[in-house]
Structure 1
Amino acid sequence: MSDYQHFTRYSPSTGAGFPDVWGVYEADTGSIQYVMACPETKKAAVIDVVLNFDPRSARSSTESAQKVLDLVREQGLDLVQILDTHPHADHMIAAAWLKEQTGLPNAIGARTMKIAELWREIYNLPDLDPKPFYDRFFEDGESFNIGNVQVSVELATGHTLGSISYFAGDAGFVHDTLMYPDSGSSRADFPGGNAEELWDSIQSILSRPDDTRLFVGHDYGKGDREEPAWEATVAEHKRDNIHVKSGTEKAEFIKTREERDATLALPDRMLHALQVNLRGGHLPEPEDDGRSYFKIPANRF
């Protein structure tokens, strides 16, 4: 869906305490970046914003993140928080650049520290530490406000061992657990991933009211559908999701997920991205020539 770079769709608030939501599609990685705003106060947060990266040239850029900031400005919103759901494997996060531009705090789940333990060994980088690069690490069950919208944090492991969802009124930002119903669910074979835990996380998400709007992290396209899509209700997932619709058994899901994952190659940005995302979106520290260099493990995957 490369023709839809920065394609944007608006999902309006459906009631008091429920957020306005904008999704901004990033076509190179199939990622959806979100702006969530309180309709009354215009306070807003951004979620899972992408730092563009070309793996062929190892060059980063900020076009997508700038598009998100432009949308915030155009809508007259007051941005107050930079949020991520997990240290993504398929794209770099833009949190560091967003902090530089806005001076605002960033946050991610507390189990990001456990993800860093895995990748310190994989990269042989004993000093790979997220703590200096994030302002807040959310625990399961914590909550905070964006204006008059209360946001709760729910641990949602399986895709990674540290993924979190954000639930705000009738909106759930459920990252790489579910895909759009015609695509099912996201992979669970990265270090720390687990298909059984992914099933449990999805069942918790789908236990919410049927009219809950679920916003997923990716869309890679499916069948004859031309435009990218990322919003569906709990009821729509229970009716139509090809991996977890009502009547699906846990063992069936795990078998489907694990067989599918065994056929998938690593994302082309993964080995570059994790060493950046575990630093809050900062490239590796410049060396004596002033340039940053990536460390890539050979013959590991």
Structure 2
Amino acid sequence: MSSPTPLEPLIHPLFDPLFDPSTSTFTYLVACPSTLSAIIIDSVLDFDPATSLITTTTADSLLSLIRSQNYKIVKILETHVHADHLTASRYLQTKLAADEANGGIKPEICIGKRIVEVQKRFAEKYGIPREEWEGAFDRVFEDEEEFSVGELKGKVKHLPGHTPDHVGYLVGSNIFCGDSLFDPEVGSARCDFPGGNAHALYNSVQTLFSLPAHYKIYIGHDYPSPDSRSPQPYTTVADQKRLNKHLKDGTTKEQFVNWRQEHDSGLAEPKLLHQALQVNVRAGRMPRDGMLKVPLKMPGGWKL
């Protein structure tokens, strides 16, 4: 007797585009086809740095999609504390908890357990009160911890390198790798943020490459060249191993680390770095005083 075919999730944006062009971010909606229980991975708030205006157009479109598919959101997941966009996790949690269509469920906001060291680092840098970040996430996952999405099983994979808290989520034959890898023509993530480490990222990619060749690797961002192609949410393990411009099969750790460190030393900081970090270590909550801090840079140490 043949064994039953493993249950595979319904995954958006395969069915609907969930790509934010202003930050080049994919948000994933992953659902159990039997129960319509679902999770959200790496959501986005709209933020205009010129006016400091936060809007929810992207998040509201996600909510409309959830309602149209009759999904019940049970968890809102973050792969890491993002430095290039503000998370919509708290906004989505509030809206979904009040929505009768979500069955009275208040989805947990979840992240990997090393979030605490990242929160402490940036709380000190930006002067964030402890009561605004401590316990901000409803659940912090252990490495290899399993969780349920209806009849689906998910597993947490620690994938450090881009940031120390970085995790991926394995659901069926799919892994949502955040900013560990990108499309093969784009390559890999930068490792110059506090706690980032190119050696660790190389090892994390080997973890991804150890998965079966047909498994799909869903990426956090895509940066296609203008007019070359549309953003692509995933490639297979086999494609990444064969084609990734930074880390294909045969690339040694020494080669990758030397290139990554040299390349990262010349990168500009993300344009939303300071705003994103202060909101994201709070799990999407806004500062109680409504103020975000942006450090000044004085050339040559010049001061008033």
Say if 1:49 and 1:95, in contact at 8 Å, map to a contact too.
yes
Tell me how far 1:300 sits from its aligned partner.
Answer: 9.3
More off after superposition, 113-122 vs 170-179: 113-122
Say if 1:153 and 1:283 are closer, same or farther in 2 by CA, change over 3 A.
Answer: same
- Contact 1:179–1:230 (Cα < 8 Å) also in 2: no
- After superposition, residues 107-256 of structure 1 pair within 5 angstroms as 107-127=110-130, 130-222=133-225, 225-256=228-259
Does the alignment pair 1:299 with 2:293? no
Which residue number corresponds to residue 91 of structure 1? 85
- Structure number with larger C-alpha Rg: 2
Give the deviation of 1:40 after TM superposition.
1.5
Q: CA deviation at 1:191?
A: 0.9
State percent identity of aligned pairs.
Answer: 37
Q: Tell me: CA distance 1:300–1:160, structure 2 relative to 1, closer, same or farther (3 Å).
A: farther
Hey, what does 2:23 align to over in structure 1?
A: 29
Q: What TM-score do the two structures reach when normalised by structure 2?
A: 0.89
Tell me what 1:5 maps to: none
Q: Is the 8 A contact 1:174 1:216 kept in 2?
A: yes
Partners of 1:20 and 1:185 in 2: how far apart? 26
**Secondary structure in structure 2 of the residue aligned to 1:106:** strand
Quick check: 2:161–2:204 contact (8 Å CA) kept in 1?
yes
Given residue 88 of structure 2, which amino acid in structure 1 is its aligned partner?
A
What residue in structure 2 maps to residue 46 of structure 1? 40
Greater strand proportion: 1
Aligned-pair distance for 1:129? 5.1
Match of 1:73 in 2: 67
Partner of residue 276 from structure 1, selected from 276, 279, 286: 279
The answer to whether the Cα contact below 8 Å between 2:37 and 2:72 also exists between their aligned partners in 1 is yes
Q: Name the structure 1 match of 2:270.
A: 267
Q: For 1:101, give the aligned amino acid.
A: K
Whole-Å separation in 2 of the counterparts to 1:130 and 1:140? 22
Alpha-carbon displacement from aligned partner over 1:48-103 (angstroms, at most 9, x marks no partner): 01011111111111111111111122222222111111110000000110111012
TM-score by length of structure 1 reads 0.90
Runs of 4+ with deviation above 4 angstroms: none
Give the Cα separation in 2 of the matches to 1:281 and 1:243.
32
Query: Which residue identity does 1:270 align to in structure 2?
Result: L
What CA distance in whole angstroms lies between the structure 1 residues aligned with 2:8 and 2:228?
29
Amino acid at match of 2:294: I
The root-mean-square deviation of aligned C-alpha atoms, in Å, is: 1.6
Describe the SS at the equivalent of 1:281.
coil
In the alignment, is the contact (CA less than 8 A) between 2:132 and 2:287 conserved in 1? no
Question: What displacement does 1:222 show?
Answer: 3.0
Task: List alignment gaps of at least 5 residues for structure 2.
Answer: 98-106, 300-304
**Change beyond 3 A, Cα 1:300–1:140:** farther
Task: Give the C-alpha shift of residue 128 in structure 1.
Answer: 6.6
**How many Å separate the matches in 1 of 2:12 and 2:259?**
32
Alignment: residue pair count = 282
Pairwise CA distance, 1:106: 1.1
2:49 is matched with which residue?
Answer: 55
Query: 2 CA distance for matches of 1:161 and 1:300?
Result: 29
Deviation (angstroms), 1:295: 1.4
Q: How many angstroms apart in 1 are the aligned matches of 2:133 and 2:214?
A: 36
**Which amino acid letter does the alignment assign opposite residue 283 of structure 1?**
M
CA displacement at 1:259 relative to structure 2: 1.8
**Alpha-carbon deviations, 1:119-166, whole Å to 9, x = none?**
122213352753332110111111111011100001111110101100
Q: Please identify, of 253-262 and 88-97, the stretch whose mean Cα deviation from structure 2 is larger.
A: 253-262
**Segment of structure 1 superposing worse, 100-109 or 121-130:** 121-130
| 2:81 aligned counterpart, secondary structure | coil
Residue 243 of structure 1 aligns to a residue whose secondary structure is coil
Give the drift of 1:105. Answer: 1.6
SS for the counterpart of 2:130 is coil
AA of the residue aligned to 2:61: K
